[in-house]
Amino acid sequence: MTEPAPPFPVLTGKSLPQPAAVLRHTGGAQGDHFDVLLATRAPANDDDLVCATWRTAHDPGGLAVGESTTADRIGAHRAAYLSLSGAQQLSADRGTVTPVRAGTWLAHGLRGTEIELHWSDGARTVMTALPDGSWKRIDT
C-alpha cells in the first residue's frame, strides 16, 4: 500500500524559506476567492511555473487559530505573481488579482501536512492540511 502524496509541496535539498503570496481573485468564473502561491524552487524567470497554487475561500493569514478554509489545488502559477505590486486585470475575462500578503514558507513538521508562513508584516501563520482537503490554522 502506498502513502498518499503530501498535500503541501515537498522541498528537496536544503530546506530554505521559499517565496509565498496570497492574491485576492475577483470577477472570474470560479467566483471570488483567494489564490495561495507557494514557490517550490527559485524561479528561472517571471514566466516560470514555479508556484504550487491553491484556491481558498479565506486568506489563510487572516484566520484565527483553530479556524479553517477550503483549499483546492489548482494549476501552477507563474513566478511573476509572487511580486505583484498592485491589482492586475487577467486576460480572457478571468477577472482581477490583487496582492493581499507576501512572505516566505517552510515545511513545518515531517509529514508534509503542515507549513509555516512568515509574512512581510512580521506575522506568522502555521497551517495544517486536513484529510478532507481543507486547511486549518494551528499556530503552536
Is 43 part of any domain? yes
Q: Which residues contact 121 (CB under 8 A, 6 or more apart)?
A: 101
Residue 126 belongs to a domain = no
Average pLDDT over residues 125-136: 92
Q: Cell numbers at residue 45, please? A: 524567470
Instruction: Decide if 51 is inside a domain.
Output: yes
How much is the pLDDT for 3? 42
pLDDT tens-digit profile of 28-62? 888 999 999 999 988 999 999 999 999 999 999 99
The pTM score is 0.89
Residue 71 falls inside a structural domain = yes
How many domains are there within the chain?
Answer: 1
135 domain-assigned: no
Q: Evaluate whether residue 125 is within a structural domain.
A: no
Quote the CA–CA distance of 79 and 136 in Å, as a whole number: 26
Q: Enter the C-alpha cell of residue 134.
A: 481543507
pLDDT at position 20: 96
Range of the domain at 89: 19-103
Is residue 131 included in any domain, yes or no? no
